[in-house]
Amino acid sequence: MIFRKKDVGTIIGKGTVVEGDIQSEAGVRVDGEVKGNIVAAGDVVVGKGATVSGDIASLNLYISGAVEGDVQCSGFLRIFDEGVLKGDAKACSFAADQGAFFDGKITMSDLNATEKGKNDGETE
């Protein structure tokens, strides 16, 4: 996983509980617990042992902990072998390692193709 420290705008540390929504213009890393929605312009990482009870919208989403809520990624969604996702997902790319748990439905779409399709029908 490529996730550089400089890309993280917010870190929720182990043993920390946040109740409420989080909005970030960068990435968010959760190693503790979030009870609320997360909206991030960058990547969101839910670390091993971490929990999120709420919806997540991000560029890319990497789950090693547990997420209960719907997720939407404009890029890549990956659930690692110890990861749990209970909720529906929308992403351009999706991967789940052997041992990962996913209870929901996945909708995959290519945002670039969608934008291209809109422009193909336009005339000048």
Task: Please report the DSSP string for 71-89 in residue order.
Answer: EEESSEEEE-TT-EEES-E
pLDDT value of position 33: 98
- Residue with the larger pLDDT of the pair 60 and 4: 60
* Mean of all residue pLDDT scores within the chain: 88
pLDDT value of position 49: 97
Task: Judge whether residue 4 has pLDDT over 90.
Answer: no
Q: What is the pLDDT of residues 7-57, one digit of tens each?
A: 778 999 999 999 999 999 999 999 999 999 999 999 999 999 999 999 999
Cα–Cα nearest to 61, from 81, 35, 82, 89: 89
Identify whether the C-beta of residue 96 lies closer than 8 Å to the C-beta of residue 112.
Answer: no
Residue with tokens 């748990």: 101
